[in-house]
Chain A
Amino acid sequence: MKNTPLIQLSGVEKRFDIEQSWLNEVRINKGKISRKKEQVHALNGVNLTIQKGESLCVVGETGCGKSTLARVILGLNSLSAGQIHYQDQRIDNLNERQRMLFRRSMQMIFQNPYASLNPRMTIYQTLSEPVSFHNPQLSQDDVDYKVAKLMESVDLSPDLSDYYPHEFSGGQRQRISIARALSVDPDFIVADEPLAALDVSVQAQVLNLMMDKQEERGLTYLFITHDLTVVEHFSNRVAVMYLGKVCELADTKTLFKSPKHPYTQALLSAIPRLDNNSIQPIRLVGEVPTPFNKPQGCVFQARCAHANDRCKIEEPKMVLQGDTSSVACHAVEEGRI
């Protein structure tokens, strides 16, 4: 199971243009008139391999590009540069028709179950639509049977299939979203903060369900979250993102035992733990940079306590460490931390 790459991202970049009127874009520089478009650099060269059967967690602050990463993998946003391979097939340059083949194997669970289910469709309609669309050969009875099985598999009674989403609680709705993602028997599921809108006791239900399904079907997850306690519990590997770049990639155990990148260290120290309150959170100084203009050098240097002149000029590359984690940091590379 290990070391068979399912999805490979190489040098993935995504820039969004900021919509402005052309008058705002005009600049006069030394008597010359030029037009300058401002761009948001959501992803700045992400290299990532997702192995078959693993759950890879992506963590980071708001605006670091986690959700954009999910969307470009699924083809919901196009790429500005770079390539994405699914198994051995390049998928970022496909047209809609060709991509349809891959939609079956890649599905998504969204953050807000109140917004991601169509309020005018019953649960039966929501679940049967993808089933009959992707399997036109199935008879009506087969579709019905499959929907009932799906509902059972997420602990919902099939009797509820004629109800509308508003008649369910948040946890039940998230289970319906999971059932919808599973309805086409995918290999790979992207979950974008699936627990953020749920209460603690319901979070546990949904997390358990996702883990059960992984075991049953051998699913691969890309799990996006900002809750590090969930990461520690759920994932095999973690990718820490900062401002559109992966700054540390490691096995969950290794990462939580010895975080290397200064940002990861700060992030882990800030987890509100129940047990030991003795750990003082590391305070990051300085403002959170915006992704409008790509900073020179290391993206983290403005807030980093270990930054030196080299960090301000040269962009650090991912370097493999002794304990199989990879870190993009000059200070770690030079042994200063």
Chain B
Amino acid sequence: MALLDVSNLNVCFGLKSGLVKALYDVSFRLERGERIALVGESGAGKSILGFSIVNLISKPGFIESGSIKLDGKELTSLSNRQLRHVRGKRIAMIFQDPMMTLNPVISVGIQMVEAIRSHTPMSKKDAKKIALDRLAQVQIPSPELRFEQYPHELSGGMRQRVIIAVAMILNPDIIIADEPTTALDVTIQAEILELLKHMCEVCNVALILITHDLGVVSRIAERTMVMYAGRIVEEGPTLEIINDPQHPYTQGLLSALPQMALPGQRLNQIEGSMPSLMNHPKGCAFHPRCKYATEKCSNAQPNYIYSGISTVACYMVEDMLEEFSEYRDL
């Protein structure tokens, strides 16, 4: 049994102008200790997916249908009180801006002790010991000093380390990291990614990394899911997807990166921009921007098929596979 099993998840937002759908039939599985990445541009729904796993989407958003199972236990039907035992303890989250996540008027140490004591009955002294241990584990020099300090006294990278320590403090099964390095400098980003990977390996924690940076993905995740307009369009092993992307959107996304072109050459660009949630196109959501689009694409949503490299939802790939199998039969 998979650690986390999300199937046919639909998330909607009830707005004045009507119901707006943000996630369309999202299904995926996560095994224990596995690291997967959710990639896509802003507005693709990656953060919504991350938030809805722990049911953190705020009103007017709600889970319309679908199931999220953690170790076989349904999460969508839990009450807020029951969810509190899951959030932080079984599934922890790391957010983009560490300054927003840490409470600026409480010292780092007290925040860590608080996190432990709200989930497990433990004396303050024991909790402090664990907290100091964790701070040392995330390679923070002189943890005793940092324990007493306030978030504004730490640098950006240091703050994100503290956040990782807080997320790891109760030995969760899953960590959901929403753009954890976007606010950081390149050199610090590399350190934090290395640390996150290391901590996940040591503690056997599964990681869902939400990011828009494909370079980051290749460094950390074993499996990648590419999202476009609320749907997963391609899913498979990271290296294979990067080397041989199947879905036209993934191809476009990769070839738009400056490192894929020769210096001074024009970059391949995807014309247009992602549709807003309000006017989701009929059929495949990518077809207005897709250079391979046919009439079929604008009529119906393609099903997921396995291309031999990744699981893709695209008629072009489907047709190609069919052609290939006919050729093989001859």
Q: Chain A nearest CB: distance from B231 CB in Å?
A: 17
Residue pair B258, A272 in contact (C-beta under 8 Å): no
User: Using Cβ atoms and an 8 Å threshold, which residues of chain A touch B190?
Assistant: 269-270, 272, 281
- With A226-B185, A267-B186, A270-B190 already in contact, the answer to whether A201 and B214 are too (CB < 8 A) is no
Residue pair A199, B212 in contact (C-beta under 8 Å): yes
Residue pair A273, B259 in contact (C-beta under 8 Å): yes
Residue pair A204, B259 in contact (C-beta under 8 Å): no
Q: Give CA–CA (A274, B186) in the complex, Å.
A: 15
Residue pair B258, A229 in contact (C-beta under 8 Å): yes
> Which of B100-108, B264-272, B306-314 interfaces with chain A?
B264-272
Q: Chain B nearest CB: distance from A206 CB in Å?
A: 9
- With A61-B185, A277-B219 already in contact, the answer to whether A252 and B41 are too (CB < 8 A) is no
User: Using Cβ atoms and an 8 Å threshold, which residues of chain B touch A2?
Assistant: none
User: Using Cβ atoms and an 8 Å threshold, which residues of chain A touch B256?
Assistant: 200-201, 203-204
Residue pair B263, A232 in contact (C-beta under 8 Å): yes
Q: Give CA–CA (A233, B190) in the complex, Å.
A: 21
Interface flags for B204-219 (1: CB within 8 Å of A; 0: not) read 0000000011111011
Q: Give CA–CA (A267, B187) in the complex, Å.
A: 6
- Which one of A204, A207, A228, A288 lies within 8 Å of B186 (CB-CB)? A228
User: Using Cβ atoms and an 8 Å threshold, which residues of chain A touch B259?
Assistant: 229, 232-233, 273-274
Q: Give CA–CA (A98, B138) in the complex, Å.
A: 56
Interface flags for B130-149 (1: CB within 8 Å of A; 0: not) read 00000000000000000000
Q: Chain A nearest CB: distance from B33 CB in Å?
A: 19
Residue pair B263, A204 in contact (C-beta under 8 Å): no
Asked if A307 is at the interface (CB within 8 A of a chain B CB), the reply is no
Q: Give CA–CA (A281, B254) in the complex, Å.
A: 22
Q: Chain A nearest CB: distance from B6 CB in Å?
A: 25
- With A199-B42, A200-B257, A274-B215 already in contact, the answer to whether A233 and B186 are too (CB < 8 A) is no
Asked if B194 is at the interface (CB within 8 A of a chain A CB), the reply is yes
Q: Give CA–CA (A230, B261) in the complex, Å.
A: 10
Residue pair A233, B258 in contact (C-beta under 8 Å): yes
Asked if A4 is at the interface (CB within 8 A of a chain B CB), the reply is no
Asked if B86 is at the interface (CB within 8 A of a chain A CB), the reply is no
Asked if A287 is at the interface (CB within 8 A of a chain B CB), the reply is yes
Q: Give CA–CA (A230, B215) in the complex, Å.
A: 13
Interface residues of A in 154-202 (CB under 8 A from B): 169, 171, 199-202
Interface flags for A262-297 (1: CB within 8 Å of B; 0: not) read 000011011111100100010110011000000000
Asked if A93 is at the interface (CB within 8 A of a chain B CB), the reply is no
Q: Chain A nearest CB: distance from B161 CB in Å?
A: 13
**Contact residue range for chain B?**
35 or more
Q: Which of A171, A211, A212, A233 has most B Cβ within 10 Å?
A: A233
Q: Chain B nearest CB: distance from A256 CB in Å?
A: 9
Interface flags for B170-213 (1: CB within 8 Å of A; 0: not) read 00000000000000011101110110000000000000000011
Residue pair A271, B215 in contact (C-beta under 8 Å): yes
Interface flags for B93-118 (1: CB within 8 Å of A; 0: not) read 00000000000000000000000000
Query: Of all chain A residues, which has the CB nearest B239?
Result: A277
User: Using Cβ atoms and an 8 Å threshold, which residues of chain B touch A274?
Assistant: 214-215, 218, 242, 254, 257, 259-260
Residue pair B186, A270 in contact (C-beta under 8 Å): yes
- With A201-B252, A204-B269, A273-B218 already in contact, the answer to whether A233 and B261 are too (CB < 8 A) is yes
Q: Give CA–CA (A226, B218) in the complex, Å.
A: 20
- Which one of B187, B257, B260 lies within 8 Å of A270 (CB-CB)? B187
User: Using Cβ atoms and an 8 Å threshold, which residues of chain B touch A267?
Assistant: 186-187
- With A61-B187, A201-B253 already in contact, the answer to whether A232 and B258 are too (CB < 8 A) is yes
Asked if A324 is at the interface (CB within 8 A of a chain B CB), the reply is no
User: Using Cβ atoms and an 8 Å threshold, which residues of chain A touch B41?
Assistant: 199-202
User: Using Cβ atoms and an 8 Å threshold, which residues of chain B touch A271?
Assistant: 186, 215
Q: Give CA–CA (A200, B261) in the complex, Å.
A: 14
User: Using Cβ atoms and an 8 Å threshold, which residues of chain A touch B263?
Assistant: 232-234, 252-253
Residue pair B185, A272 in contact (C-beta under 8 Å): no
User: Using Cβ atoms and an 8 Å threshold, which residues of chain B touch A205?
Assistant: 269
User: Using Cβ atoms and an 8 Å threshold, which residues of chain B touch A269?
Assistant: 190
Query: Of all chain B residues, which has the CB nearest A288?
Result: B155
Q: Give CA–CA (A237, B39) in the complex, Å.
A: 32
Q: Chain A nearest CB: distance from B306 CB in Å?
A: 23
Q: Give CA–CA (A252, B258) in the complex, Å.
A: 14
Query: Of all chain A residues, which has the CB nearest B154?
Result: A287
Residue pair B218, A277 in contact (C-beta under 8 Å): yes
Asked if A137 is at the interface (CB within 8 A of a chain B CB), the reply is no
Residue pair B218, A207 in contact (C-beta under 8 Å): no
Q: Chain B nearest CB: distance from A157 CB in Å?
A: 13
Residue pair B191, A281 in contact (C-beta under 8 Å): yes
Q: Give CA–CA (A205, B255) in the complex, Å.
A: 12
Residue pair B214, A204 in contact (C-beta under 8 Å): no
Asked if B273 is at the interface (CB within 8 A of a chain A CB), the reply is yes
- Which one of A201, A226, A232, A287 lies within 8 Å of B269 (CB-CB)? A201
Q: Give CA–CA (A237, B258) in the complex, Å.
A: 16
Asked if A208 is at the interface (CB within 8 A of a chain B CB), the reply is yes
Residue pair A226, B267 in contact (C-beta under 8 Å): no
Q: Chain A nearest CB: distance from B198 CB in Å?
A: 12
- With A274-B214, A274-B215 already in contact, the answer to whether A207 and B267 are too (CB < 8 A) is yes
Q: Chain B nearest CB: distance from A236 CB in Å?
A: 9
20 contacts between A and B (CB under 8 A): A169-B273, A200-B41, A200-B256, A201-B41, A201-B252, A204-B256, A204-B258, A228-B186, A229-B259, A232-B258, A267-B186, A271-B186, A272-B190, A272-B213, A272-B218, A272-B219, A273-B259, A274-B242, A274-B259, A281-B191
Residues of B within 8 A of A (CB): 41-42, 155-157, 185-187, 189-191, 193-194, 212-216, 218-219, 242, 252-254, 256-261, 263-270, 273-274
7 pairs of A and B residues whose beta carbons are closest in the complex: A272-B215, A233-B258, A204-B256, A270-B190, A281-B190, A199-B41, A204-B267
Q: A229-B259, A266-B187 are in contact. List 8 more A-B contacts (CB 8 A).
A: A61-B185, A201-B270, A267-B187, A269-B190, A270-B190, A271-B186, A272-B218, A281-B187
